[in-house]
Structure 1
Amino acid sequence: MPAPVSVPRTPDTEGGAALHRLVLASLDDDQAVDTISIPLAGKSSIADHMVIASGRSTRQVASMATKLAEKIKAETGQTARIEGLPTADWVLIDAGDVIIHLFRPEVRSFYNLERMWAFGDTPAGAA
């Protein structure tokens, strides 16, 4: 049996950009706090964008995640994969070209994903 062949991901710039705009608009509509977008094209093959946002409570985080998954399904026909919804401290949504992390503020500051994924974006020595 031949070994599986890894095919490099090619960015779907048109679809990926539309999905990215949809995610940002949905989070804005749901009053997400401190929304940031980290471009991953050229840094990682998992996605073109990573969006990180906070909700004020577990209820808001769960609501934002559910609504976002529904909007992605309605607009693109894709089913987004969701992890962490029962507790809603940190919810990960894999929408293909866009990865979304939704946090409660305390959990977000603990994991500090922005700093981890901002490699190469800040000068050495800046913290």
Structure 2
Amino acid sequence: MTTAQSDTTSEQLLARILTSLEEDKAEDIVQIDLRGKSSIGDYMVVCSGRSSRQVAAISEKLVERLKAEFGRGAKVEGKETGDWVLIDTGDVIVHVFRPEVREFYQLEKMWLPAGTA
């Protein structure tokens, strides 16, 4: 872990991820606080892109920005198909879906308190 990585809080990382998603026109961005609920990370972010191409582009730009600004690599799964891309930064897990895939899995309903999704 580099100094830049160790000095970055999960809140700073989350803020930059949310800004990146907004800059790339991600839709229906939902932020879920996982602290005290799961050991997989501190936060989860779920959002949608309008097409497979946009889902892949949102994901690529996010990974590039995190690497350039924080020196932080991320594990990426699913970019080849563009239906659902998982980006694991360690502290923040990001899911970028096509809308119909997101509706099918309803991932945020598993993590948000009842009545908020």
- Same fold (TM > 0.5): yes
Among residues 66, 75, 90, which one is paired with 2:69 in the alignment? 75
**Matches of 2:16 and 2:45 in 1, distance apart?**
11
Aligned residues: 112
Report whether the alignment pairs 1:122 with 2:104: no
- Corresponding residue of 1:85: 79
Structure showing greater radius of gyration is 1
- Corresponding residue of 1:7: none
Among residues 69, 76, 89, which one is paired with 1:95 in the alignment? 89
Q: Which runs of 5+ in 2 are unaligned?
A: 1-5
Do the aligned partners of residues 77 and 13 (structure 1) sit closer, same or farther apart at CA in structure 2, a change above 3 Å counting? closer
**1:14 Cα deviation after fit:** 5.7
Q: Which runs of 5+ in 1 are unaligned?
A: 1-11
SS of aligned partner of 1:79: coil
- Corresponding residue of 1:15: 9
Q: Deviations over 1:32-91 (max 9, x none)?
A: 000000000000011000000000000000000000000110111111110000001000
Taking every aligned residue pair, what percent have the same amino acid on both sides?
54
**Matches of 2:96 and 2:8 in 1, distance apart?**
24
**Matches of 1:53 and 1:112 in 2, distance apart?**
11
**Matches of 1:78 and 1:36 in 2, distance apart?**
22
- Normalised by the length of structure 2, the TM-score is 0.90
- RMSD (Å), alpha carbons: 1.8
Query: What is the correspondence of 1:31-110 to structure 2 with a 5 Å cutoff?
Result: 31-110=25-104
**1:122 Cα deviation after fit:** 2.4
**Matches of 1:63 and 1:88 in 2, distance apart?**
9
Considering fraction of residues, name the structure with more helix. Answer: 2
Letter of the aligned partner of 1:88 in structure 2? G
